Amino acid sequence: MTENLKVQTMLFATSVELECPHCGEIESGFVGNPAGEVFTCDSCDEKYKVHSEADIEHK
């Protein structure tokens, strides 16, 4: 007997946060995947880039 399972094809991310590599503060408010982009830290005003193949840690 084969079970007929429904398949979910979409995942929803509700919060994306990054740690500034300069000052260590947590940056939040990102919409979508920030990989490969350049940002300016709201706390220390330094620019940093997120590696294009950055690992995503699920909490």
Confidence of residue 53 (pLDDT cuts 50, 70, 90): very high
Domain total in the chain: 1
Cα-flanking dihedrals φ and ψ of residue 3, to 5°?
A: -80, 130
List the structure tokens of 49. 């880039």
Q: Is 41 inside any structural domain?
A: yes
Name the one residue in this structure whose structure tokens are 């330094």.
46
Q: Is 32 inside any structural domain?
A: yes
Domain that holds residue 44: 17-49
Q: Is 33 inside any structural domain?
A: yes
- The stretch 34-46 carries a mean pLDDT of 95
Q: Is 23 inside any structural domain?
A: yes
Q: pLDDT tens, 3-26?
A: 899 998 987 777 789 999 999 999
pLDDT for 22 = 98
List the structure tokens of 29. 């408010």
Q: Is 11 inside any structural domain?
A: no
pLDDT greater than 90 at residue 43: yes
List the structure tokens of 35. 């990989």
pLDDT for 41 = 97
Q: Is 6 inside any structural domain?
A: no
